[in-house]
A and B are shown apart, each in its own frame.
Chain A
Amino acid sequence: MESRSGHLAWLPHLVLLLGLLLVGFPIYVTFVGSTLTTPEILSGHMPLLPGGHFVENYLTALAQGMPQLSGVPVARLMLNSLVMALSIALGKMLISFLSAYAIVFFRFPGRMLCFWMIFLTLMLPVEVRIVPTFQVTAKLGLIDTYAGLAIPLIASATATLLFRQFFLTIPDELIEAARLDGAGPLRFMWDVLLPLSRTNLAALFVILFVYGWNQYLWPLLITNTASMTTLVVGIKSMLTVDANTPWHLVMAMAILAMLPPAAVVLLMQRWFVKGLVDAEK
């Protein structure tokens, strides 16, 4: 309005630039730290421009075994994080898509009971029931396994509710037409519903990938050996209480831990923003 053409046109830009500074400064300083050596960082006047150890630090972090991580290199932790994030994202999408399909497109005894049982899980984040969930998972022998990292976290209602909401907007005529053409329920799901859900699937993938990659408490509990832990959890082991923290490697690890989820968010931005706002309605 008046600010767009008038004398205050610069004000929003100023505020937004301050916002960018707030968001960007910690990330920038971390990046700078990842290109220095630890003595340079600890010198008391750390430079604020990138140094010359970028390649060296990242290669060391990625490929060399870390003594603080029982000799496991960061590349292995990234692989674990990737497996966990992908399993959670794809697993949640799959089981939610199927259950929402059953609940919306069929009438069967116990349908509402199923819906409410799934719906209840919306209420309790895994952190709340952490110790008993850990014990159940331990009883099933899933400690230090990818299954133990991923499966307990795919029990959640958000995705089911999102699919349900979307399925309810599918016009009846579409089902009738599919039936006339002789398509059964599975055929309809695969050939009609799945392609129509593309946007929702893309948005959910971003949200769930970020959720899975960024998990902390669960992988902390469920993994005992360094070779099975995730990158986000592994960083904490690098921060030793004494003054021996290899800050240059910790910063390289922090950047590596931010890259994949940031890339997914940025590359799929268009679907993500719409999906995020829709998913929570």
Chain B
Amino acid sequence: MERRVVFGGKLLPYLLVAPQLAVTLVFFFWPAAEAVYFSTQQQDAFGLSTLFVGFENFTSLFADPDYLHAFKVTALFSVAVTALAMLPALLLAVMADRVVRFAAVYKTALMLPYAVAPAIAGVLWLFLFAPGVGVLANALRWAGIDWNFLLDGNQALALVIVAAAWKQLSYNFLFFLAGLQAIPKSLLEAAAIDGAGGWHRFRTIVLPLLSPTTFFLFVVDVVYAFFETFGVIHAVTGGGPSKATEILIYKVYYDGVVGLDLGGSSAQSVVLMIIVIALTAVQFRYVERRVHY
């Protein structure tokens, strides 16, 4: 889309885009280029000299069982976070769309986790489930369950999944509610007159009309689970116990910042970049198609 009427001016437009372009070039293109460059280099132990090694960082990455393990953990983690963030949000949005009384109260309260940092969400859930500290950890022990996520990898994974999904619930809820409220009521009334029951109407009218929102949220949630959940993992489990909660972004951080393996970490960054670009491309293709119908 273009404007018909525009202003003249030779220098002014450049001055106006200059600040954003400068920041983008220095803090976006330069680092991205460095990531690609370093992913083909290998540094010696003292960081004094580097050597071009082509794709060796990538091949050794995919031969590394730890990396493949992080991939598996990330897949499980992101699927679980996405499902746990979306399904309750959809249910709550459907219910919030139906009520008249207290609607504003529900909506406001359910919005709150949006304002909570992932790391803080992690701390809240840690306080509930820390062995010997949290009220829910004590309750589990009371019920005879051997709860100690500091030792049990599956329990640790479950805890970070719940904390990460809890934070994202609000975002999904707000979008589902907006999507539901955009569905013409006349459509649902017509279906009701034709004798379609509540569940039937939901399945055949509401869900299909909600599918663009659902798809959009799916992509957003996966990207969230991949990257923004770093704070949850770092604050609650530190990737442990024995790498049970080490997702890809945590490994990039750990190998690059703690392990000082620049080449390997950069290669991981490049892999992540490719994943995000693919996800975004899929999303834009879908959005394009959506515009036409």
Contacts and interface: CB of A to CB of B under 8 A. Distances in A.
A35 interface: no
Contacts of A168: 1, 3
Contact of B135 (A46, A213, A215): A46
A216 B174 contact: no
A22 B109 contact: no
Interface string B115-150: 111111101111110001101001000000000000
B127 A247 contact: yes
Nearest to B173: A19
A244 to B, nearest CB: 12
A155 B253 contact: no
Interface string A86-112: 000000001110110111111110010
A49 interface: no
A130 B120 contact: no
Contacts of B1: 168
Contacts of B46: none
Given A20-B106, A124-B28, A26 B125 contact: yes
B214 to A, nearest CB: 13
B209 interface: no
Interface string A128-140: 1111111111001
A3 B27 contact: no
Contact of B123 (A41, A122, A167, A254): A254
Contacts, number: 299
B61 interface: no
B30 to A, nearest CB: 5
A83 interface: no
Contacts of B128: 25-26, 29
B35 A131 contact: yes
Interface in A24-71: 24-27, 29-30, 33, 41-42, 44-46, 48
Contact of A136 (B27, B114, B269): B27
B116 A258 contact: yes
A13 interface: yes
A37 B228 CA distance: 32
A132 B269 contact: yes
A99 B17 contact: yes
A22 B166 contact: yes
Interface string B242-258: 00000001001100110
B271 to A, nearest CB: 10
A277 B175 contact: yes
B96 interface: yes
A102 B227 contact: no
Most interface-central of B20, B102, B280 (chain A CB within 10 A): B20
Contacts of A232: 117, 119-120, 231
Interface string B5-30: 11101101110110111011111111
A132 B23 contact: no
B240 to A, nearest CB: 11
Interface string A169-204: 000100110000000111010000000000000000
Contact of A175 (B5, B95, B188): B5
Given A151-B23, A185-B7, A23 B109 contact: yes
Contact of B20 (A23, A44, A98, A140): A98
Contact of A276 (B99, B166, B174): B174
13 contacts: A16-B96, A20-B106, A22-B88, A22-B169, A23-B113, A111-B13, A117-B21, A127-B252, A172-B4, A236-B234, A236-B235, A273-B174, A280-B175
Interface of A: 1-4, 11-13, 15-16, 19-20, 22-27, 29-30, 33, 41-42, 44-46, 48, 94-96, 98-99, 101-108, 111, 114, 117-118, 120-125, 127-137, 140, 151-152, 154-155, 160, 167-168, 172, 175-176, 184-186, 188, 210, 213-217, 220-221, 232-233, 235-236, 239, 247, 250-251, 254, 257-258, 261-262, 264-266, 269, 273, 276-277, 280
